[in-house]
Structure 1
Amino acid sequence: MLPDGLSAIRVGGFQPFTTLDYPGQMAAVVFLQGCPLRCVYCHNPDLLPVHADTEIDGREIAARLKERRGLLQAVVFSGGEPLVQSGLAAAMDHVRSLGFKVGLHTSGISPDRFQRLRDRVDWVGFDIKAPFSGYGGVTGVNQAGRRAEASFAMLAAWGIPYEVRVTIWPSLIDCEAVRQIATEVHRLGCKDFALQECRDPATGEAMGGAAFLDEDLQADLAQRFPGFSVRRASHARAA
C-alpha cells in the first residue's frame, strides 16, 4: 500500500460531512476522478477527465479523516466512477484501518475490480442507468449494461446492504423502463430502490419526468421495495 492509502487514488473533491450519501451514517465523501461513461445528465462533469492540476493530495484527505475520527462513522467513495482507479482497494483498506465504515457509489462498470472489493465495502449505492440491454442511449457505451448487470449480480449475492438508484432523464427513461429495471433487480432480492430527479446540465433546471407523476408506478415500487424512495433535485455536491 502507498504511504497513506489514499495516495493510491486520484481525488477530485472532498465533502467533509454528509448525512445523505450513506444511509443512517454520518460520513465524508471522497470524489474520485475519471469515468468512461458519458451520461447525458451527469452532474459531476468536472470529474470525468483526470486532471493533475485539479487533483487533491490524498495525504491531505487522510489527515482530515484522522482528525474526524469519533465524529464520523463512514467514508464514501464516489465520483466520477471509483472503479476506474486501480488504487481503490488500497484506499478502502486505509479508511477501514482508521475505524470507518466504507461506502461506495458505483455504476459497476468494471466487474473484475468490483469483485475485489467484496470484503472491503460495507454499503453500496448502485446506479443503474437504464434497463441493462439499453445502456447505450444514456451512457454512450453500449457494453456498459452487460458489465453493470454482472456487477449487480455479484452485489446481490454478497449479502451486504445496498441501494439501487435510477436517475430519470425523461426522454430516455420512461415509466416502462423503470418497471423493467425494477423487475430485474427485484428478482435478485433488492430491497432499497430510489428514483432520482436530475437537472439539465445546460440550464440547471430540474427535469421531472413521467415517473415522478405516475402514482400507479410509485405504488407498485413501494409494494415491491420496502426501502423505496423518491428524490427530487434539491441537493448539490459540495466541492
Structure 2
Amino acid sequence: MNIQPTYSSLDFPGKMALVLFTPGCDLRCKYCHNPQLLKNETLTKWDIEEIEEEVEKNIDFIDGIVLSGGEPLLHLDVIKNFIRQAKNNNLLVKLDTNGLHPNEISEIINDLDYVAMDIKAPLDKYYKITDIYPSNVKETINKTIDIILEHEVFLECRTTYVPKLLEPQDIKDLTKEIRCNMYTLQQFRNRVTYDSRLADYDEPNPNDLVNILNNLDIPIPEIHLKSNQFGNQIIKKG
C-alpha cells in the first residue's frame, strides 16, 4: 500500500482520527522524520480503494481523518476522494501541509475543518532547513494563509526547532511574519532524519524552548510546545 494509515488521538487535537500518510514532498528538510515518504509514488485505484475500505470499517470509532505525508496536496485528486467519503460520513477533515500549494488548497478549503501548516524557518531563510525549495516561499505561504483564514478554517502553524539549524531569533522572526490561530514549537528528535548527520545533533532542552516562546511578543492567541518529555504544553491561551 502506497498510503500508510495509522490511528491517532494526538494528530487531530481532541479527536480520534485515521491518519493517511501520502508519499512525495517538494521539500527536503534535513530533519524530516518520514524520509521514506519523500519519493513521490504513483497512487493507484487499489491504493484508494484500500483506504476507503479502512475508513468504512472504522466509521464508528473515528471522529475524522488527517491527510498527512509527505505533502498530500501533491495528490489532490486522490485526497478529494477521501474528503468526499469523510464528509458523506460526517467525519471531520484535517490537512497537514507545507503551505506551498495555495491553488490546490483553494479547491478543498470548504471541506476542511483544521489545517496544520509547517513553517520551516523565517520565510526568507528556508535555505537553513532544506536544499530544495521554491524561490517564492514568502509570497506562496502568505497566499495559503490568506485562503485558510478567509474561509475561517482553524489554522495551526508549527515549527520544528533544530539546534545548529535554527536559533531563537529565527522563531521570533518567523512568528512575526505569519498569522494563525495557534502556533506550536516542536522539539527536534534525532532518531530518524533525512540528513543522517543530524543523528549527532542534541535534542533541544524543552526548558530552553519554553524560554523562547515566553519571549515572543506576537498577537497569535494560542501558543504550544510539543516535547518528548512533557507532551503538549500550553504556553499561552488567550
TM-score range, shorter chain: 0.7 to 0.9
Aligned equivalents of 1:171 and 1:86: distance in 2? Answer: 35
What CA deviation, in whole Å up to 9, does each residue of 1:148-192 have, x standing for no partner? 23212322322111211111122222111101111122xx3x231
* Aligned position for 2:34: 44
* Aligned position for 2:137: 145
Counting only pairs closer than 5 Å after superposition, residues 3-22 of structure 1 correspond to structure 2 as 11-15=2-6, 17-22=7-12
Equivalent AA in structure 2 for residue 170 of structure 1? P
Q: Residue 179 in 1 paired to residue 169 in 2?
A: no
What SS is found at the alignment partner of 2:5? strand
Aligned equivalents of 1:216 and 1:86: distance in 2? Answer: 39
Assess, with a 3 A threshold, how the Cα gap between structure 1 residues 57 and 159 changes in structure 2: closer, same or farther: same
Equivalent AA in structure 2 for residue 151 of structure 1? T
Equivalent AA in structure 1 for residue 24 of structure 2? G
Assess, with a 3 A threshold, how the Cα gap between structure 1 residues 44 and 55 changes in structure 2: closer, same or farther: farther
Equivalent AA in structure 1 for residue 147 of structure 2? M
| TM superposition shift of 1:220 | 3.5
Aligned equivalents of 1:113 and 1:97: distance in 2? Answer: 21
Aligned equivalents of 2:160 and 2:88: distance in 1? Answer: 33
Aligned equivalents of 1:70 and 1:149: distance in 2? Answer: 37
8 Å Cα contact 2:175/2:218 also seen in 1: no
* Aligned position for 2:109: 118
Number of equivalent positions:
222
What CA deviation, in whole Å up to 9, does each residue of 1:88-111 have, x standing for no partner? 223312222122110000011211
Aligned equivalents of 2:95 and 2:221: distance in 1? Answer: 21
* Aligned position for 2:233: none
Q: Which runs of no fewer than 5 residues in structure 1 stay unpaired?
A: 1-9, 235-239
| TM superposition shift of 1:130 | 0.8
Assess, with a 3 A threshold, how the Cα gap between structure 1 residues 212 and 157 changes in structure 2: closer, same or farther: farther
- Match among 216, 221, 227 for residue 222 of structure 2: 227
- Match among 75, 79, 84 for residue 85 of structure 1: 75
What SS is found at the alignment partner of 1:95? helix
Mean Cα displacement is larger for which, 111-120 or 35-44?
111-120
Q: Which runs of no fewer than 5 residues in structure 2 stay unpaired?
A: 230-238
How well do the aligned residues superpose, as a CA RMSD in angstroms?
A: 2.9
Assess, with a 3 A threshold, how the Cα gap between structure 1 residues 134 and 104 changes in structure 2: closer, same or farther: same
Equivalent AA in structure 2 for residue 128 of structure 1? I
Equivalent AA in structure 2 for residue 28 of structure 1? L
Aligned equivalents of 2:43 and 2:143: distance in 1? Answer: 35
8 Å Cα contact 1:198/1:233 also seen in 2: no
